Chains A and B, each alone.
Chain A
Amino acid sequence: MAEKEGILVIAELSPAGAPDAVTLELLGLGARLAASSGKQLQAAAVGIDTASAAATLIASGAAAVFTVEGSAYAAYDPDLHVTALEKVVEEAGPSAVLVGNTTVGQDLVPRLAFALKAGLTTDAVSLEMKGGALASTKPVYGGNAMAVFVSRGKPALASVRPGAGDPAKPDASRTGETVKVDVEAPSPRLSFGGKVLEEGGDVRLEEARVIVSGGRGLGGAEGFEQLRELARLLGGAVGASRPPVDAGWWPSTQQVGITGKIVSPEVYVAVAISGSSQHLSGISDSRVIVAINKDPEAYIFKVSDYGVVGEWQQVLPGLSSRIREILGV
């Protein structure tokens, strides 16, 4: 058993059993929080076989890893995972629990918080320890305000937006203890029929260095072909605001914003997008934002670094052909 109160990171494991990229970011963040508050960095892993995950978690800074193992944990099942993690939190007694704000994290962490009767802040973009308590900042009102939340009582839970911290650098010389937690898995209540994957864009939005996105003002699916051309020149991906997705002009996997993908490219080009707070919430970490819009009053210009006022039908050909000249393609 750990002697110190901890910051507990719940690891998300790949099908092969390795901690994913978000988990390493959480360990990076968690190490900083632990150091600033004199707490121990802990991790939890639930899976069929957690031995190699535990080794990676320790190498990435966890002083103690709590594991729950069993064939029942082959795939994510909220009821089983919540029961397992509830037990882990009881044993570890952390003051803060961090989870990635991923598809699984979003499904898991509200259930876990309510099972523990603990406070939770979802989609936290930054974390801090204040007087020994976790303070989590998140957007509210669609990004029109930023709120800092602190919980009464312990532990405080936060699901953290991917990209909010620098990943921990694994160091195989680190040591830590592994604590096996025995849990009786409840019988499943949900039956999962398997995932059906849909075709997305050519480059994954989350990894794209350049994103060219289109909005309602594109007026139809044809406009997206022109965006694709520009994106191809720049080696980027094509995204969309919500209306083109709702209208079926572009795949829903490519929606950018608070209920779509949160992106942080080097360059984000917003074409015929007005700049709603819900859209901006998903792009505010972009290094450079470029806007093309026919309305000089469009809010998107206030949050952009470069802009052209004009009809995209006319601006885009000029932009694309000059880029082609510049790049010599």
Chain B
Amino acid sequence: MAELNILVCVKQVPDPEGPPSAFEVDSAARKVTPKGIPPVLSPFDENALEAAIRVKEAAGGSITMLSVGNNLSKAVMLKALASGADRLVTVEDPSCDQEGLDAFATASLLAAAVRKAGPFDLILTGRQAADTNAGQVGLGLAQLLSIPAVSVAGKVEVNGGTARVETVLPDGYEVVEASLPLLVTVSHEVGDLRYPSLMAIKKAKTLPMETFKPADLGMEPGSLVINEITELTAPNRERRCRLVEGESPEDAGAKLAALLKEDKII
């Protein structure tokens, strides 16, 4: 078989590990404004990239990263590239802002970019993005490309023209095999993305990069949207906490037990 062409779909999101106060919910504009947190690759997309790098180490091949967005951070993309990818393709435009797209529009843009920049034997995505928490785009992309797909992988291996994937189940795992081309959505069980060396980050600047506009792909993102946000609110999850104090931490623990008993909780 010829060289394995691997694609990893990566999305830039506000750092999901930021504190709740960093996510300002603007109900009027129906959007979330991140405050004081940096953009990062969506964490499961980092795992997908790591899975791709491991496949490349074992089976050879080259890795293309593909991202759709607006104002993508060069630093974020270069660092990801430097961890082991070979090429970057982006679709960038104000119309590709997170607020302007739904899963169908996003997957349609990705599919068009795949047709332009491909073909690819193995396409990896995250199991879900940290902003949408949807888990739609990967499986949807496979549907649009008419290729088989396996979801929530904890391990991905390629041998010749066949992929072997371990999918994560609530109470274990399952091995699924399929011929390439194949799309796999990746979970954190595959392992963290490795850190690139400084040398690699420098070198990443020289890797091939292409940027398309939606119009280059013959698409108008807004017209593709099917699912729209009609309301956005901050969750009301705060409760009134009774802090239990004691003469010592042990005593506070004992008092907590007594209080839970008194309130008929235990």
Contact = CB atoms under 8 A, between A and B. Distances in A.
A319 B227 contact: no
Nearest to A315: B253
Interface stretch (B72-80, B100-108, B205-213): B100-108
A140 B187 CA distance: 18
A318 B227 contact: no
A95 B248 CA distance: 60
Interface residues of A, number: 91
* Secondary structure call for the B interface: mixed
A79 B239 CA distance: 45
Contact of A301 (B14, B229, B243): B243
Contacts of B258: 322, 326
A147 B231 contact: yes
Given A146-B232, A151-B226, A303-B237, A309 B260 contact: no
Contacts, number: 263
A311 B103 contact: no
Interface stretch (B49-57, B63-71, B112-120, B126-134): B126-134
Given A141-B23, A246-B188, A308-B249, A190 B150 contact: yes
Interface in B169-185: 169-179
Contact of A299 (B19, B171, B178, B265): B19
Interface stretch (A35-43, A54-62, A64-72, A191-199): A191-199
A170 interface: no
B17 to A, nearest CB: 7
A319 B188 CA distance: 34
B46 to A, nearest CB: 13
Contacts of B131: 140-141
Contacts of A26: none
A190 to B, nearest CB: 5
Interface in A98-157: 103, 106-107, 110-111, 113-115, 117-123, 135, 138-153, 156
Given A190-B177, A252-B189, A305-B242, A110 B229 contact: no
B12 interface: no
Contact of A318 (B130, B132, B241, B251): B251
A269 B86 CA distance: 47
Interface stretch (A4-12, A173-181, A285-293): A285-293
A311 B233 CA distance: 35
A323 to B, nearest CB: 5
A114 B102 CA distance: 12
Contact of B32 (A123, A141, A318): A141
Interface residues of B, number: 84
Contacts of A290: 256, 260
A234 interface: yes
A291 B254 CA distance: 14
B253 A317 contact: yes
A139 B235 contact: yes
A104 to B, nearest CB: 10
B230 A110 contact: no
Contact of A289 (B174, B189, B239): B239
Contact of B170 (A110, A261, A306, A318): A261
Interface stretch (B2-10, B89-97, B140-148, B196-204): B140-148
B266 A326 contact: yes
A112 to B, nearest CB: 9
B241 to A, nearest CB: 5
A203 interface: no
B253 A189 contact: no
Interface stretch (A17-25, A45-53, A217-225, A272-280): A272-280
B104 A119 contact: yes
A321 interface: yes
A142 B133 contact: yes
A114 B143 CA distance: 6
A151 B139 contact: no
B173 A195 contact: yes
Contacts of B143: 110-111, 114-115
A146 B233 contact: yes
A274 to B, nearest CB: 9
Interface string B254-266: 1111111100011
B242 A311 contact: no
Contacts of B244: 306-308
A301 B130 CA distance: 24
A198 B238 CA distance: 35
B234 interface: yes
Given A113-B140, A280-B237, A195 B151 contact: no
Cβ-closest 3 pairs across A and B:
A318-B253, A318-B250, A193-B175
Interface of B: 14, 16-17, 19-20, 23, 25, 30, 32, 102-104, 107, 127-128, 130-136, 138-140, 142-144, 148-152, 168-179, 187-189, 225-235, 237-244, 246, 248-261, 265-266
23 contacts: A103-B152, A113-B140, A141-B32, A141-B133, A145-B235, A147-B229, A149-B229, A150-B228, A152-B227, A210-B266, A242-B188, A259-B188, A276-B17, A306-B244, A307-B242, A315-B250, A317-B253, A318-B246, A319-B254, A319-B256, A322-B258, A323-B257, A326-B257
Given A302-B241, A318-B253, 19 more contacts: A78-B149, A103-B152, A107-B152, A111-B142, A120-B103, A139-B133, A144-B234, A145-B235, A192-B175, A193-B176, A193-B177, A196-B175, A253-B171, A267-B260, A306-B244, A308-B253, A318-B252, A319-B256, A326-B258
